[in-house]
Structure 1
Amino acid sequence: MERYQPPPSSQPPERFGLRMSVTASIAHNITPLTPVSFLTRAALIVPNKIALVHPERGVRFTYAQWAARILSLTFAIRNTPGWRRGERVAIIAPNTPMILEAHYAILAAGGIDTPLNIRNNEREIEYVLGHSGARLILVDEEFAHLIPKQLPSGVHVIVSRDTGGTKGVQESADAYEAFLDGGRKIWAQAEEDERKRYGPKAKKGWELLDIVENENEACALCYTSGTTGRPKGVLTSHRGSYLAAVANAFEAQLTGESVYLWVLPAFHAAGWTFPWAVTAALGTHYILRRVDNNQIWDALNHGGVTHYCGAPTVQIGLVNHPKAKKLDRVVKVAIAASAPTADLLAKMEALNLEPVHVYGQTENYGPFARRYREPSWSDLAVEERARLMARQGHGFLVVDEVRVVRRPSDDSSPATGKDERELIDVERDGKEIGEIIMRGNLAMLEYYNDADATAKTIKHGWLHTGDLAVRFPGGEVAIADRSKDIIISGGENISSLMVEQELADHADVLEVCVVARPHERWGEVGHAFVVLKEGRKGNIDKEALRAHCRSRMSKFAVPAYIDIVDELPKTSTGKVQKNVLRARLAKL
C-alpha cells in the first residue's frame, strides 16, 4: 500500500511560526489560557511525532503537519462571509480527523465550537442549529441528511468525505479538503502581505493570529441530551477548557508515550476535552469512525493503545468479544455513567484493562471527579473492590471540593442571593442523601440564551448537578440517584441505582435498568428491565431474580415488575435512556 502523503494544506512550511501573537494590552506576566496553545507547543517540541492516526482511511499526520492543516482550517473559517468573533460553528460528524481539527481551528478563529450529536434526528438537529445560530456547518457526508432542507440565508455548509486529501482524490470531490486548500492560500497571501510590509520582521504561520485576550471568553457550546425536554446549550470558556484538559491529562496519566483510542464520541462535551488533553501530553490520537468491537480489539492488539474512555455498556461488549485476550500492557479505561460490576471488573482486570471510575456532566466539561484507588484494595475480594470503586470519589486536580448538601423541602423556592450559608452539608455517614454541588474552574459559564435554566442550576454561587448522593467519612461522594430517578413507593425512597447494582451482581445478568412505574396503591413501584448473558435465557426466571433482590434489600425496594429483554435503549455515549423506558410504561 502506498504511503499516505498529506495534501498541500497539511504541509508545514520551512519556517513555520508556532507562537500565537500576544497583543500589547496583555501584561507580560499573563498569557491567557486557551487549548489552542497545546497544539502549537506539541508541533514545536515533537514536530515529527505522529499526532493522529486514522487507520480506516490510511491517514496519519505528524504534529507539524497537523498544526499546518489546522491553521489552514482556521484561515478558511475566518474567511467565511460575514465572519465575526463569537460566531458559532456546528460540527456534525462521527470520530474523524475533521471533528478533532475543528475543536482547535474554531477556537483559533475566534469562534465558538458547537459539536452536535449525530444520534439526534433531523428535527432535533434543526432545533439546535436554530438555537445556536450557527453560521457555518461542517458535516461528514454520512450525516449530511441531517442538515435541514431550508437553512437561513448566510449559513454555509461544508461536507467532508473523510478522505484526508489522499492521493487520487480531487479537491472538488471532497469539499472539506477544498475548504482547507482555500484556507492555505489565504494563509499564504497573509504571509506575503506581511513580508511586503515588514520585510524580515514579518510574521509567519501561527504568529499571524492573536491569542484570545480574555481567557474567560466562550469557546464551546455543547448541547445536553435533552432527555427531559429541549436540549440545553452549555457554554464553556477557553480557561475552563484548558484547565479541564490539564486535569484529564493528569488524572488519566497521559504521557508522550500514550496512544488514546477514540471510543468516546468527540462531539460529547467536546470529547470530555480529550482532543486537547492528549495533545497537551504530546500523545497520539487513534481515531475510529464508530464503536466497532472488532476494530477496537485490532487497535488494542496492534495499535499500541494505552488509554480510552467508554461507558460500562461498551466494556461489556469488549470483554465478551471473540478477539478478547489479555494484553501485554495495562490499558487505562475511564468509565463514566456507572462503575463496573464485580463480574465486569474481574473480566477487565483479566484482560489488563484497568478501569478508572469518573463522574461529571456536560455542565462540567465532562468528568470532574474520580474514585482514587487505595493501597488496601489489593487485599480485597473483587466484589468488595467493585463496591468501593462504585463511589464517584473526589474532585479532579483543578476542582474545588465536591460537596453534598441537603435539598430544600421546596425545590421551586428561589435562591436568595449568593449566601453560601444556606447550603448545609449532609453528614459524612454514607447514609444521608443530598445533592452534589460544585464550583470553580470546571463549572460552565451558563446555559446559552436560557437565563431561567441557568438560574435554576447556579444558586448560592454553586452549580447544582441534580444528582443525589451520600458522602462517606473519607469525604468521597457516591451517587444515590438522579433526582428524577428516585422511586417513591408508599412514602419510601428507593434508589433505582442501588437496585440496579444489586441485580447486576447476579451471575446471569448482563445489564439492568430500573425505573418508576405508576401504581394505584403505592404511587410508584420499581420496574426492572434485565438483559441476560449470552446463553443464560431459560436458566433463570423473574421470580429467581426477585429472590436475589429480597436477599439484598428491603422488601419495598424489590422491583414489583421485571421484564427480561434483549437490549436496553441507549444514547450515543452508551447511557441507558430511562426516559424511553418510562415512556414505554406510560403506554401500558
Structure 2
Amino acid sequence: MVMDASVNPFTKGLDKNTANYAPLSPLSFLARAADVFPDTIAIVHGRQRTDYRTFYRRARQLGSALTRLGIGKNDTVSVMLSNVPPMLEAHYGVPMAGAVLHSMNTRLDAAIIAFQLDHADCKVLITDREYAPVVKEALSMAAVTPIVIDFSDTQFPQDGERLGSLDYEAFLQSGDPEFAWSLPDDEWDAIALNYTSGTTGNPKGVVYHHRGAYLLAQANVITASMAKHPVYLWTLPMFHCNGWCFPWSLSLVAGTHVCLRWVRPQTMWELIAEEGVTHLCGAPIIMSTLLNAAPEHKRDLDREVEFFTAAAPPPESVLAAMKTAGFNVTHLYGLTEVYGPAVVNDWKLEWNDLPLDEQAQKKARQGVRYVALEGLTVLDPETLEPVPADGETLGEVMFRGNVVMKGYLKNPEATEKAFKGGWFHSGDLGVLHPDGYVQLKDRSKDIIISGGENISSIEVEEVLYKHADVQAAAVVAKPDEKWGETPCAFVELKEGSTVSEADLIAFCRQHLAGFKAPKTLVFCELPKTSTGKIQKFALREQAKAL
C-alpha cells in the first residue's frame, strides 16, 4: 500500500530549507579549513609558504575578479598551468564564480588545445608563460577569443612571451578577498570539464558535478587513510582528472600541498625528506624516477610514505624496491569519466602471509569499488548479463553511482552509448574474481597508457597515413619498463620508398604531442584477416618481443 504524500508524516511539513539542506560542493572544504586552521600551511611552492587563511582569501579574490569580468554560471575558464599555486586557487576560485574549470594537459599540441578551447567555448584562459609558444599557436587556430591572463612564476621565473593584457597576480589582487560566493544552486551543476582521448575523432569533454567532486574528494581521504594535516607532494599532474580530486581532498584534513613544477628526481627526494611528505600519487614512471635517482640524491626516510599509482600494476621487483626505499604502494584504477580513481586494490592483512608469487598475483588486480562508488562489476557488453566470477571469463568493466560523470559535453550520442543499460561502459575488458576483485585483461579501445597519459592508437595511425610513403600502418602498445607502455608503429611502405624509421618518427613529432609519437617503428607487411582487417593481436605479440 502506497501512502498518500499529503498525509505521510515523514513528508508532510518536512521540506528542505536553508536550515536543514545545502548542496554538496567541495568549495565548503576550503572555507572550513580557513575557519578552523587559518595558520596551518596550505601550500608550499619553492620558498613561498601560504597558510589556509591566505589560500581562502586568494581563492575568493579570483572568484570576485572573474565575476567582475562578467564570468558566471556555466561559463568556461580554461587553465594551462603546471602544479603551481594558481592551479590550486583555480579549483576553488573558478567555481566560486559559478563557472566551470577546464584544466588542459600541458603536453598537448596546438591543434588539440585549439579544439578544446572552441568546444568548451572558453571565455577566460589563464596560462603559464612556460607554455606561451604552443598556446599562442593554439589561439591563432581557435575560433574563440578568450580573455588571456598570463601567470608569471616568481619562484621559478619563465621568459615566455606574454599573450594577454592581464597579469595573473594583478588580476587576482583586483578581486575582493571578502567575496560573498555561494554554493551552487544545484549540486548537479557542473564544476569541471576534462577531455579524454577517444579512439576516433576529437576528444570528448567529460563533465563533473559538484556532488561527485565532493564525494570523490572524501573517498580519497578514506582510501588514502589520511590523518589530519597530511603533506601531499604534487607528482600527479593537476590537469589530470583535476588531480584525481586531491586539490579538494587536502582541504578536508587541512593538509599541505607541496607544489612541484617539474618532475625531477633530486627535487622530489629533497621535498619528500625536508617537507615531511606523507602522500603522493603518480604513474609508474614516478616510481622509476625515484628509484633510478643518483645515489647522492636519494634520502633515508624516517617514516613510511604512501604512494598511490594507477595504470599498469608495477612489477614485484619495483614494489619491493619501493618498500625498501620507504614507500607503501597502493594500486588504483579509474578513468576520466569517474573523476579519476574509483577502484582500489584494498589489501587484506591475511595476504601478507601468502608466498611472494601469490602476493604478486593479488597486487596485479585492479580491485574493488571506492566507498563513493555504488556499483562496479564485469558484464557482457551486449547482453549486460554478469560474467561468472571465475577470474577467467572476459567482460566489460562497468561503473554506476555518484562519482560517474554527468556525461560528454555537447555529445548526446556518445553519452547515451556510454550509459547504455544504466551502467557506465568503461571500454576496458576484464575478469571478476571469486572474491569480487576486478582485474583488467585488455583495452577494447586500443588505448595506450604511457606514463599515465592516454594515447589513441588511431590518432597516431592517422598521422602516419598522412605521410606520402606510407601504404598502411598500425600502432599498438609496447611494454616499457620506464613508461609502462609506449606506442609501437608497424608500417608498410609504398613501393620504391626509401623513407627511414627516424624520418617517420620525426614526421609524427611534427604533427603530434611528443609523448604520442612512436618510440619504436617497424617496417613490415601487416598481418591481415581474409577481409583485410589488420590483426592487432598479432602485432601486440611482436611488440612484446622487440
1:328 aligns to 2:302 (yes or no): yes
- Give the corresponding residue for 1:61: 50
Question: Once structures 1 and 2 are overlaid, which stretch shifts more, 468-477 or 311-320?
Answer: 311-320
- Give the corresponding residue for 2:405: 444
The Cα shift of 1:315 comes to 0.6
In structure 2, do the counterparts of structure 1 residues 526 and 83 end up closer, same or farther at CA, with 3 Å as the change threshold?
closer
How far apart in 1 are the matches of 2:313 and 2:169? 41
Deviations along 1:137-168, one digit per CA (max 9) or x if unpaired, are 000111122131366576200000022799xx
- Give the corresponding residue for 1:117: 105
1:432 aligns to 2:420 (yes or no): no
Partner secondary structure for residue 135 of structure 1: strand
Partner secondary structure for residue 122 of structure 2: coil
How far apart in 1 are the matches of 2:55 and 2:474? 55
CA contact (8 A) 1:228 1:579 kept: no
What is the TM-score of this pair, normalised by structure 2? 0.77
CA contact (8 A) 1:326 1:350 kept: no
- Give the corresponding residue for 2:6: none
Deviations along 1:437-482, one digit per CA (max 9) or x if unpaired, are 1111110001001111112211111100001010111011000111
- Give the corresponding residue for 1:356: 330
In structure 2, do the counterparts of structure 1 residues 125 and 53 end up closer, same or farther at CA, with 3 Å as the change threshold?
same
Uncovered stretches (5+) of structure 2, i.e. residues with no partner:
1-14, 158-163, 462-472, 483-500, 527-546
- Give the corresponding residue for 1:6: none
- Give the corresponding residue for 2:172: 180
Aligned counterparts, 1:393-472, within 5 A: 393-408=367-382, 422-472=383-433
How far apart in 2 are the matches of 1:62 and 1:314? 28
Amino acid at match of 2:60: L
- Give the corresponding residue for 2:7: none
Uncovered stretches (5+) of structure 1, i.e. residues with no partner:
1-23, 167-171, 188-204, 409-421, 487-495, 501-512, 519-523, 534-562
2:123 to 126, 135, 140: 135
Amino acid at match of 2:74: G
How far apart in 2 are the matches of 1:136 and 1:227? 29
- Give the corresponding residue for 1:253: 225
Amino acid at match of 2:439: A
How far apart in 2 are the matches of 1:527 and 1:129? 29
- Give the corresponding residue for 1:302: 274
Partner secondary structure for residue 123 of structure 1: helix
How far apart in 1 are the matches of 2:192 and 2:475? 39
Deviations along 1:298-346, one digit per CA (max 9) or x if unpaired, are 1112110000001112211211212334421111111100111111011
Deviations along 1:155-185, one digit per CA (max 9) or x if unpaired, are 200000022799xxxxx9981010011113x
In structure 2, do the counterparts of structure 1 residues 105 and 433 end up closer, same or farther at CA, with 3 Å as the change threshold?
same
How many residues are paired up?
456
- Give the corresponding residue for 1:370: 344
How far apart in 2 are the matches of 1:153 and 1:434? 42
How far apart in 2 are the matches of 1:296 and 1:252? 20
- Give the corresponding residue for 1:169: none
In structure 2, do the counterparts of structure 1 residues 532 and 68 end up closer, same or farther at CA, with 3 Å as the change threshold?
closer
The Cα shift of 1:526 comes to 11
Partner secondary structure for residue 342 of structure 2: strand
- Give the corresponding residue for 2:492: none
Aligned counterparts, 1:572-587, within 5 A: 580=518
Deviations along 1:397-435, one digit per CA (max 9) or x if unpaired, are 111131100122xxxxxxxxxxxxx52101011000000
- Give the corresponding residue for 2:150: 159
In structure 2, do the counterparts of structure 1 residues 443 and 123 end up closer, same or farther at CA, with 3 Å as the change threshold?
same
In structure 2, do the counterparts of structure 1 residues 164 and 107 end up closer, same or farther at CA, with 3 Å as the change threshold?
farther
1:272 to 244, 249, 255: 244
- Give the corresponding residue for 2:73: 85
- Give the corresponding residue for 1:341: 315
- Give the corresponding residue for 1:484: 445
2:42 to 45, 51, 66: 51
The Cα shift of 1:577 comes to 7.1
CA contact (8 A) 1:26 1:213 kept: no
Amino acid at match of 2:174: G
In structure 2, do the counterparts of structure 1 residues 112 and 277 end up closer, same or farther at CA, with 3 Å as the change threshold?
same
1:73 to 36, 58, 62: 62
Deviations along 1:168-223, one digit per CA (max 9) or x if unpaired, are xxxx9981010011113xx5xxxxxxxxxxxxxxxxx25x2222120011111011
What is the TM-score of this pair, normalised by structure 1? 0.72
CA contact (8 A) 2:103 2:242 kept: yes
CA contact (8 A) 1:98 1:162 kept: no
In structure 2, do the counterparts of structure 1 residues 462 and 580 end up closer, same or farther at CA, with 3 Å as the change threshold?
farther
- Give the corresponding residue for 1:544: none
In structure 2, do the counterparts of structure 1 residues 526 and 377 end up closer, same or farther at CA, with 3 Å as the change threshold?
farther
Partner secondary structure for residue 95 of structure 1: coil
Deviations along 1:359-402, one digit per CA (max 9) or x if unpaired, are 00000000001001111222234433222111111101111131
CA contact (8 A) 2:266 2:298 kept: no
